[in-house]
Amino acid sequence: MRTTIFDIAKEANVSIATVSKVINNTGRISEKTRKKVLEVIEKHNYTPNLLATALTSKYSYTLGLMMPNLANPFFGEIAKSVEDRARELGFSVIMCSTEYDAEKEAWYFTLLQKKRVDGVIIISGVENEDAILGQKARAGMPIALVARDIPTLPINTVCVDDFLGGYMAARHLLQLGHRNMGMILENIRAARERLRGFRKALEEEGLTLEDRYVAEGEATIENGKLFAHRLLDKKPSPTAIFATNDILAIGVIRAANERNLKVPDDLSVVGFDNTILATITDPPLTTIAQPMSLMGSTIVDLLVQEIKGEETNKQRIILVPELVLRGSTKEPRQVAQQEGSLAQPSFSGG
């Protein structure tokens, strides 16, 4: 028969709570008692039933991570960092893919609650979900937000400055001499912030990004391609396109290939995220990097501090994105010809 926590407590002549404290390394226990309990645990090769432990302990040492779409490596990189940091802190992570579906998201919330997770990290896939998340947070479930900012929600949040990211993309293209640009964005709030930043930089130069040079939809390679064809059909045709993530940017490069346009000679392309995808496109993609690993580990730290009651003040941490120059951007042909040079900009990043 399987050894239980009761058997260990009985043989070590201590209470179940004491065994639980030794297992979870919490509370104050004398070295002598700890040693005795560990000896009995080892003798019986006892592995605690985590569900039973959750019932007797304050914590289940489990976190939930809800992500909208596992096909985007951006989420994989955040998930890896969340899992690594959680493990360092003694927590395991249950990952859920919500597929941008509000019903699925609600279903996972309930499931995670039933599994007695101590808190949930969410990368929201649903628009206008302030109310739903607010309700959950008020119901006492520690919730933290990563890679998304919902300014009306008083919960721990880690994301990048999306406005600044869009602004940086535009400034880079302006510096190269582009004046006629297009933009493709994912239909999420963060991407609209990137659009605002992009427009602001153009406006500072007395330029306007007309709505007809902006396309918005789900972030798929197919959409990136479709929208890029639409923008490239406009007169005058844009010499540069900024896409609000690397996946959409790949679609733009594909569209350029289909039209026999050379990237970057005929069309400059800027992505966002700096996922592994940005290094394997041809040419490699100039992109606005989000510090995915830092974002993942920081949100775990904030959530665990909240769970353990070590920090009651919630934090909104807005990280600064970074422009990573690769081969998909250069000055537009006219400028290059005027300058009599077709030199590439200097590269940084991998």
**Gyration radius of the chain over CA positions:** 25
Phi and psi, residue 245, nearest 5°: -155, 170
Q: Is 184 in the site for ligand RIB (CB under 6 A)?
A: no
Location of structure tokens 């006219």: 334
20: left (phi over 0), alpha (psi -120 to 50) or beta: alpha
* Amino acid in the structure at residue 305: Q
Minimum CB distance to ligand RIB smaller for 74 or for 213: 74
Whole-number Cα distances in Å, 2 to 13, 49, 51, 54 = 19, 10, 15, 18
| Alpha-carbon gap, residue 171 to 185, rounded angstroms | 18
Pick one of 74, 91, 108, 198: the residue that binds ligand RIB (CB under 6 A).
Answer: 74
Q: Is 147 in the site for ligand RIB (CB under 6 A)?
A: yes
Q: Is 245 in the site for ligand RIB (CB under 6 A)?
A: yes
Q: Is 287 in the site for ligand RIB (CB under 6 A)?
A: no
Pick one of 72, 98, 268, 286: the residue that binds ligand RIB (CB under 6 A).
Answer: 72
Are 298 and 318 in contact, with CB atoms under 8 Å apart? no
Least CB distance to ligand RIB at residue 250 (A):
12
Choose the stretch contacting ligand RIB; rule: CB under 6 A; options: 3-11, 131-139, 182-190, 203-211. 182-190
Sheet strand arrangement including 286-289: 214-217, 181-186, 240-243, 268-273, 286-289, 322-324
Least CB distance to ligand RIB at residue 225 (A):
17
Give the residue from 173, 245, 244, 165 showing the smallest Cα distance to 197. Answer: 165
| Alpha-carbon gap, residue 332 to 340, rounded angstroms | 12
| Alpha-carbon gap, residue 335 to 178, rounded angstroms | 8
Pick one of 91, 272, 277, 286: the residue that binds ligand RIB (CB under 6 A).
Answer: 272
What is the widest separation between alpha-carbon atoms in the chain? 88
Least CB distance to ligand RIB at residue 48 (A):
38
Least CB distance to ligand RIB at residue 75 (A):
7
Residue 283: is the preceding peptide bond cis (ω within 30°)? yes
Q: Is 242 in the site for ligand RIB (CB under 6 A)?
A: no
Least CB distance to ligand RIB at residue 151 (A):
15
For ligand RIB, which residue has the nearest CB?
245
* Residue window 101-140: x/- pattern of binding to ligand RIB, with contact defined by CB under 6 A: ----------------------------------------
Q: Is 278 in the site for ligand RIB (CB under 6 A)?
A: no
Q: Is 288 in the site for ligand RIB (CB under 6 A)?
A: no
| Alpha-carbon gap, residue 244 to 192, rounded angstroms | 9
* Amino acid in the structure at residue 148: R
What tokens were used for 220?
A: 């798929």
Q: Is 82 in the site for ligand RIB (CB under 6 A)?
A: no
Q: Is 273 in the site for ligand RIB (CB under 6 A)?
A: yes
Least CB distance to ligand RIB at residue 273 (A):
5
Q: Is 252 in the site for ligand RIB (CB under 6 A)?
A: no
The interface with ligand RIB within residues 188-207 (CB under 6 A) comprises 188, 190
Least CB distance to ligand RIB at residue 125 (A):
7
Choose the stretch contacting ligand RIB; rule: CB under 6 A; options: 83-91, 184-192, 207-215, 233-241. 184-192
Choose the stretch contacting ligand RIB; rule: CB under 6 A; options: 101-109, 169-177, 183-191, 325-333. 183-191
Whole-number Cα distances in Å, 137 to 131, 142, 144, 293 = 10, 6, 9, 25
Tell me the site size for ligand RIB, rule CB under 6 A. Answer: 10
Binding site for ligand RIB (CB under 6 A): 72, 74, 147, 186, 188, 190, 219, 245, 272-273
